[in-house]
Chain A
Amino acid sequence: MGKTLYEKIWDRHVVAQQPEQPDILYIDLHLVHEVTSPQAFDGLRQAGRNVRRPDRTLATMDHSIPTLNRDQPFEDEVAQKQVEALRKNCEDFGIKLFDLFHKQQGIVHIIAPELGLTQPGQTIVCGDSHTATHGAFGTLAFGIGTSEVEHVLATQTLKQSKSKTMAIEFQGQLPTGASAKDLILALIGRYGHDFATGYTIEYRGEAIRKLSMEERMTVCNMSIEIGARAGMIAPDDTTFAYLSDKPYAPEGDQWEQAQAEWENLFSDVDAVFDKVVEFDCSKVEPQVTWGTNPGMVVSVNGQVPPLEDLSLEQRKIAESALAYMGLEPGVRIQDIEVDTVFIGSCTNGRIEDLREAAAIVNGYSVKDGIRALVVPGSQAVKAQAESENLDRIFIDAGFEWREAGCSMCLGMNPDIAKPGDRVASTSNRNFEGRQGRQSRSHLVSPAMAAAAAITGRFTDVRGWPLRTGEGVTR
């Protein structure tokens, strides 16, 4: 019997198998950031242990750092301490760190792919649930807790039991005007945000093959929002082309050898998945969430769903979400006005995302009274955007142009939405309080967020009159 892509990668990384116990799985790349690592390093110190493979460990700062005035001491002393702890830990244990001013600093899930560190067939972990992003390269990548961060630091392995496997077969073409973000939101909306708990998903089908690497990363990034442990896409020519010119990609003969190996990374025709789901993406429209989890989502032309059709249990959940969001059943999505717009995060902070948003913004102005932020996912994304003059488009329109980091996606730094504020956000979670206490998040694509900044309400970008100008590529 054939193997799934997941099984092929798994089998290649098993260090030891013991009866009645999880496998010991080798980890190729361990990504570290300031929030989920300090207690792990302390654990190592207390036990007198070292980092086994500092050369397979990479650290950066992203979650709690400010996106303004970085040359000043942080306003938040606790965050400052956390960043200093990472600095010291990396120094003490010999780990490469992309510090605040490093030209490669950025969100951990943005920088590893853009450096070419994320390569097909690897195992990648990080103390962050959106590690699933790297699965876009045909990589087994998943989020871990701090105890496991310590385990990986000490042993370069993890004790892991295999998850179940799910194939999601996308049928049809993603229509023009609908983005990868809309695709994944529509999928989560259809099946619910805990549908894939216990599974690793492989996204398949023609529509997936046609996506760029940036778009594939957006899809895999949100695998956790459907409950999955990880999400992955088999590598192909798009993957190889993306990787070929990256700083850490192999060169010459090494490249030939690597590519030959990577070309075998696909699920065999006779491989058996525990679950197979078919999803027609030919009718996907721009999506907007209305509730307090990513599965509470409808088309921009839709309305907050009426509650009559729901089960009693579901109804209770929806009512509580609507009370928090300050919305009533039946409200048209396009009548919902926003106060804040956030473009960035590991879901949508890559260069393509900024291009998409800039194309909408070009020649327009942010509506009066709206606070709009663009936070590039990395310093490299920021530099690239500036070389394309995208920063001018945003700034001229009235957006704030910030330094790279996670920023308002989770509001651990000073970029938080105020209580009651309604945010059009390109991030990945709309949980209560996620972007600031009592703030109300609506998840959308970069283009939809850009349009909302200009009109002040959710607007279907498919009819958007583009104003062409210099420096915009689309």
Chain B
Amino acid sequence: MKALKTHTGTLMPLDRANVDTDAIIPKQFLKRIEKRGYGQFLFYDWRFNRDGTENEEFILNREPYRNATILLTRDNFGCGSSREHAPWAIEDYGFRVILASSFADIFYNNCFKNGILPIRLPKEQIEELFSKVAAQPEYTLTVDLELQEIRDSNGMTKHFEVDDYRKHMLLEGMDEISATIRHEEQIDAFEQQHRLYYSL
């Protein structure tokens, strides 16, 4: 997994609440058996017209947002299906940080496993960031995971919360499976005393 310590990038304002994982990556792309290459399908139904041409109305297709790496959005981002293809698509497109007032649980968890930092900020702060982007389209932020801060070039600094374990995981680019396998003896011991009433 890709580590993330600090990141500087342009914000893309996606002014919608309840963006679900079906919208992030529609189901027709879930048939692929690869883990990469989903960026081209990110927000597919919003990004492309029915004839396959780009929808110029959609924010991602406008400059300077095509190459933005920080996604700014609203409440309950990533709700719905558990598909990890959603963070895969977001990361593959080039986003490393998502700022929202709230995230759906499974999606939030999936982000950390794919080198994306989802940051929860209070609604007023999200609103403030939307205003800043509206005033200055090329608005840029630096995200510092170590210090748990976001900063802009005008001297604004905001603190964010993230639990220590997830922070550590992302800072180190940790391989969680290897870490768990170190507990193999405990898993063996657990299985010795754990009873189940079926076998497959």
Contacts and interface: CB of A to CB of B under 8 A. Distances in A.
A439 to B, nearest CB: 11
A42 B35 contact: yes
Interface string A118-130: 0100100001110
Nearest to B75: A194
Given A64-B31, A155-B187, A161 B163 contact: yes
A22 interface: yes
Contacts of B84: 36, 39, 127, 145-147
Given A35-B31, A432-B45, A154 B177 contact: yes
A292 to B, nearest CB: 8
Chain B interface size band reads: 35 or more
B195 to A, nearest CB: 8
Interface string B74-101: 0110011111110100000000000000
A249 interface: yes
B30 interface: yes
B61 interface: no
A188 interface: no
Contacts of B22: 410, 429, 431-434
Interface string A94-124: 0010000000000000000000110100100
Q: Name, among B20, B22, B28, B177, the residue most crowded by chain A CB atoms within 10 Å (CB to CB).
A: B177
A337 to B, nearest CB: 24
A170 B163 CA distance: 34
B113 interface: yes
B165 A20 contact: yes
Contacts of B190: 15, 26
Contact of B31 (A76, A119, A146, A156): A76
Contacts of A155: 177, 180-181, 184, 187
Contacts of B23: 431-433
Given A24-B180, A129-B80, A254-B197, A313 B187 contact: no
Interface of B: 16-18, 20, 22-23, 26-28, 30-35, 45, 50, 75-76, 79-85, 87, 102, 104-106, 109-110, 113-114, 163-165, 176-177, 180-181, 183-184, 186-187, 190-191, 194, 196-200
Interface of A: 12-13, 15-16, 20-22, 24, 26, 28, 35-36, 38-39, 42-43, 47, 49, 52, 54-58, 63-64, 76, 78-79, 81-82, 85, 96, 116-117, 119, 122, 127-129, 143-148, 150-151, 154-157, 159, 161, 163, 193-194, 197-198, 224, 227, 229, 248-250, 254, 258, 293, 313, 317, 320, 410-412, 419, 429, 431-434, 437
30 contacts: A13-B194, A20-B164, A21-B165, A26-B187, A38-B33, A39-B34, A49-B177, A82-B33, A119-B197, A122-B196, A127-B84, A128-B81, A144-B106, A145-B83, A145-B84, A151-B177, A154-B180, A156-B187, A159-B180, A194-B75, A227-B105, A254-B197, A313-B17, A410-B22, A419-B50, A429-B81, A432-B23, A433-B23, A433-B45, A437-B26
